[in-house]
Structure 1
């Protein structure tokens, strides 16, 4: 059975709910109540439940959407003339452009890696290609593999939110990570 496309108003409501959920989950993690998401979206709780029967379903949709967008940005960066600049700009965008949020920290946990395996694998593939191009261009150390990079980034994301770091501390810490990736 094929799923019927949503009416225009229902599609807009779904998008509003998803945007409000991303904002709320990014700020507060999965603990935010669905009623609060409905309020932020300007819809009733019934509308939220109609599109997302559980908070977990909404959280998953929000994460998958965010990961898909990051994957698109990584793929776009692959077309840049300067692979090194594109690589570091993409990492910087992950940090400042919404990548380092409570929702991704929650998703990086053991359950999250299983639930988001497909989208995460696509993101990691795109990041791996970007890393490889930056290494070939001589901008990134060649002794760093994708696993190393993902471990460092994951540790950074988790540490920043667990320690409630201020923006200056986050910036200094991320600068150290970027400097450690650069060729000497």
Structure 2
């Protein structure tokens, strides 16, 4: 999402959205070193248009990261009303592991040691994810669908470890999903069915 106060004209907003979508796909395919020229070409805009919206690679990466985190939070909000709190949490964890697996170095590239960009972005996005997951986990705890001692930070660490471990696998998404299923079995509450 844009953080500027002035709304964009409709055509400029379309360009912004297309650039953001192309950048997300490029990061998923090639990592954070994806070609800005290729991103502009895929978005159907010129390099000057890309740089008008995103003056640096860092600014573009921040927008991609923020957009993905907002999508995860929206998914958590949608799942918060699901009738099965345990299944809702598992569904969200699968979305988080997919997010982490497709980041391809995105989070690391936004670390504050580069001296560029918004140093609070990572903290803000992390807090948003913790809040969203925490609400789903609280419902799952209430339903005895997960072990009482499991915290949202535990789950996010496990998801992060799975994404890191499968980052270079030829079929990383499938392997990440398989490993997440093992983790989910380990965190289920005693009142849940086997399976």
User: TM-score, normalized by length of structure 1?
Assistant: 0.88
Deviations 1:6-45 (A, max 9, x none): 1111110010000000111122221101101101111111
Q: Are the structure 2 counterparts of residues 74 and 48 from structure 1 closer, same or farther at C-alpha, using a change threshold of 3 Å?
A: same
**Equivalent residue for 1:75?**
77
Instruction: Note if contact 2:61-2:106 (Cα within 8 Å) is conserved in structure 1.
Output: no
Which of residues 183, 188, 195 is equivalent to 1:182? 188
Structure 1: 5+ residue stretches without partners: none
Q: Report the RMSD for the aligned CA atoms in angstroms.
A: 2.2
1:66 is aligned to 68
Q: 1:44 aligns with which of 43, 46, 67?
A: 46
Other structure's SS at 2:83 match = coil
Q: Number of residue pairs matched?
A: 181
Specify which structure has the higher proportion of helix: 1
Q: 1:89 aligned to 67, 91, 95, which one?
A: 91
Residue 35 of structure 1, aligned match among 34, 37, 49: 37
CA contact (8 A) 1:84 1:137 kept: yes
Give the drift of 1:158: 1.4
The 1:9/1:139 distance shift into structure 2, 3 A limit, reads same
Unaligned 5+ runs, structure 2: 113-118, 191-195
Going from structure 1 to structure 2, the CA distance change for 1:99 and 1:73 (only over 3 Å counts) comes to: farther
